[in-house]
Amino acid sequence: MVRLSNFKKCCFKAREKMSNKHKNQSKKQSGGQILNAMHRIVELIARVVFLFIAYLKGPPESQPPIKDLTLLHSATTLAFKIRNKQLTSEEVVRSYIDRIKEIQPVLNCVVEDRFEDALKEAKKCDDYLKSPNAPSAEVLAKEQPFFGVPFTTKDCISIAKMKQTAGLTVRKNSRAENDAEVIKLMRDAGAIPIATTNVSELAMWWETSNCLYGTTKNPYNTRHIVGGSSGGEGCIQAAAGSPLGIGSDIGGSIRMPSFFNGIFGHKPSTGIVSNDGQYPSAQSEDQDRLLAIGPMCRYAQDLLPTMKILANKNEDKLRLSEKVDITKLKFYYMEDDGGQHLMSPVEPEIKESMRKVVRYLEKAHKIKATELNIRKLKKSIALWMANMSCKDEKDFTYELSNRNGHINLWWEFFKWMIFMSNHTLIALLTATFERFAVKHGSDEHNKLIQESRDLYREFQDILGEDGVFLYPTHPTAAPLHNEPLIKPFNFSYTAIINVLGLPSTACPLGLNKQGLPIGIQVVGGLYQDRLTIAVAEELERGFGGWVPPAIVA
**Catalytic residue list:** 154, 229, 253
Nearest 10 degrees: CA dihedral of 395, 400, 401, 403? 50
Q: For residue 489, which amino acid is it?
A: F
Residues 6+ apart with CB under 8 A from 33: none
505 three-state secondary structure: strand
The answer to whether the peptide bond before residue 268 is cis (omega within 30 degrees of 0) is no
Angle, helices 492-500 vs 443-463, to 10°: value is 80
Residues 72, 95 contacting (CB under 8 angstroms): no
* CA separation for the pair 166, 156 (Å, rounded): 5
Q: 276-311 burial by CB neighbour count: b if 16+ within 10 A, else e?
A: bbbbbeebbebbbbbbbbbbbbbbbbbbbbbbbbbb
- Measured distance CA(68)–CA(97) in Å, rounded: 12
First to last CA, the chain: 90
457: number of Cβ within 10 Å: 11
The maximal CA–CA distance of the chain, rounded, in angstroms, is 107
CA angle 202, 182, 449 (to 5 degrees): 55
Residues 6 or more apart in contact with residue 218 via CB below 8 angstroms: 224, 225, 226, 235, 260, 261, 478, 516
Using alpha carbons, select from 285, 260, 261 the residue that is nearest to residue 275.
285
Contacts from 383-386 at CB under 8 Å and sequence distance 24+? 383/448, 383/451, 383/452, 383/455, 383/496, 383/499, 384/251, 384/290, 384/492, 384/495, 384/496, 384/498, 384/499, 385/437, 385/438, 386/438, 386/444, 386/445, 386/448, 386/449, 386/452
The one-letter code for the residue type at 164 is Q
C-alpha torsion angle, residues 240, 244, 250, 256 (rounded to 10): 30
Burial of 385 (0-12, 13-18, 19+ CB in 10 A): buried
Q: What does DSSP assign to residue 375?
A: G
Q: What is the dihedral of CA 157, 162, 163, 166, to 10 degrees?
A: -10
